[in-house]
Amino acid sequence: MSANIVGWAHTPFGKLDTETVESLVVKAATGALADAGVSAGDVDEIVLGHFNAGFSPQDFTAALVLQAAPELRFKPATRVENACATGSAAVHQGVRAIASGAARIVLVVGVEQMTRTPGPEIGRNLLRASYLPEDGETAGGFAGIFGKIAQAYFQKYGDASDALAMIAAKNHRNGVANPYAQMRKDVGYDFCRSESEKNPFVAGPLKRTDCSLVSDGAAALVLADADTARSARKAVSIRGTGHAQDFLPMSRRDILAFEGCTVAWQRALAKAGVALSDLSFVETHDCFTIAELIEYEAMGLTPKGQGARAIKEGWTQKDGRLPVNPSGGLKAKGHPIGATGVSMHVMSAMQLVGEAPEGMQIRDARLAGIFNMGGAAVANYVSILEPFR
């Protein structure tokens, strides 16, 4: 019993001063149900992805989805959390509910409101997704963690600053066409490559343009079984999924290998019965540019230590052999933690039914890959999507 995406909604990502977690949840949930043509009363289960970790005073948020419609009262609703992969954790839980036969229709919502939190507190909140006994005193929060990873990568494989700047420039250029993106500006390679007052070093070799944005926002989708999908206005099948959870302490693994990412990709591709080369595009977790670079290697696009080839030779550009982050990725779109994974699924579904915004649409997109990561390659989720047949 396959799960299929039959409707979706997406708020703008950014600094949304007039919104609350509740209002964002309600807007996304209401929009997704309307887009799917599904009444609230027909929903069998609700899954909310919300990291929080101190960002919002309101906790215990699963029931906030019920505010979208009176008919959602008494529906089973669960909040899930798996650091920055929280959104995909919610989607995958919905997929399992349908695959088990426990539900025909599942409403999945992802949300986060981060920008009302002072900067130092944001860093402390995010650092909770690391192993505190080893990394709890890291300067710069999670940027500091990935700054260490970037430094270790440079020491092992050589200075990859050019490649990181090219990744940042690519994603910012792609984000211009995404109306939901927080930053819709093509800042160019030279700006990303050069240290400046507006682009200072943040942690190790990482500059401001190497880091994703602090964001507010929500996204939602409606999952349905195959019988329901057949009568839907549009439908995208989740053909395969993979989830691999790795050790939390980085000291227990090769942090430059992102092995959990590799395992999740292998599992999802095997379930889908396809190869990486079959994909039309990938939405991947570029919380930092070094993450996207290592993910090229972990997904099997290049051998270890050679990820720079993929960006320098144009493979991952929007017109390349495997476009990566045509939405602009977390780098341009923004990264409201609980919403990110759901957003990735929405952006990919848009591509596959030809509803992506003008300038963002990948021509003849037939198969999408999604990688969403929590922590430093700890929670690893992959989804393979295709148009419903």
d(CA 77, CA 100): 17
Question: In the chain, which residues have pLDDT < 70?
Answer: 1
In 142-161, which positions are buried (b, 16+ CB within 10 angstroms) versus exposed (e)?
A: bbbbbbbbbebbbeebeebb
Place of tokens 């079984």: 225
pLDDT score recorded for residue 140: 86
Q: Is 84 a catalytic residue?
A: yes
Region for 68 from its dihedrals, namely left if φ exceeds 0, alpha if ψ lies in -120 to 50, beta otherwise: alpha
Q: Is 192 a catalytic residue?
A: no
pLDDT score recorded for residue 56: 94
Instruction: Tell me whether residue 97 is exposed, middle or buried, using C-beta atoms within 10 angstroms of its C-beta: 0 to 12, 13 to 18, 19 or more.
Output: buried
For 368, phi and psi rounded to 5 degrees? Answer: -115, 145
- Other C-beta atoms closer than 10 Å to the C-beta of 168 total 30
* pLDDT tens readout for residues 270-320: 999 999 999 999 999 999 999 999 999 999 999 999 999 999 999 999 999
Q: Which of 92, 243, 285, 335 is catalytic?
A: 335
pLDDT score recorded for residue 389: 87
Q: Which of 10, 84, 243, 287 is catalytic?
A: 84
Region for 276 from its dihedrals, namely left if φ exceeds 0, alpha if ψ lies in -120 to 50, beta otherwise: alpha
pLDDT score recorded for residue 166: 98
d(CA 51, CA 90): 11
Say how many residues make up the chain: 389
pLDDT score recorded for residue 329: 98
DSSP bridge partners of 45: 106
Dihedral over Cα of 265, 266, 271, 273: its sign: positive
pLDDT score recorded for residue 126: 94
Whole-model pTM: value is 0.98
DSSP secondary structure code for residue 161 in this structure: H
* pLDDT tens readout for residues 132-163: 999 999 988 899 999 999 999 999 999 999 99
Domains of the chain with CATH codes: 4-117+214-230 (3.40.47.10)
**Closest alpha carbon to 9 in 111, 103, 98:** 111
d(CA 221, CA 227): 17
Is residue 273 a contact partner of residue 2, using CB atoms and an 8 Å limit? Answer: no
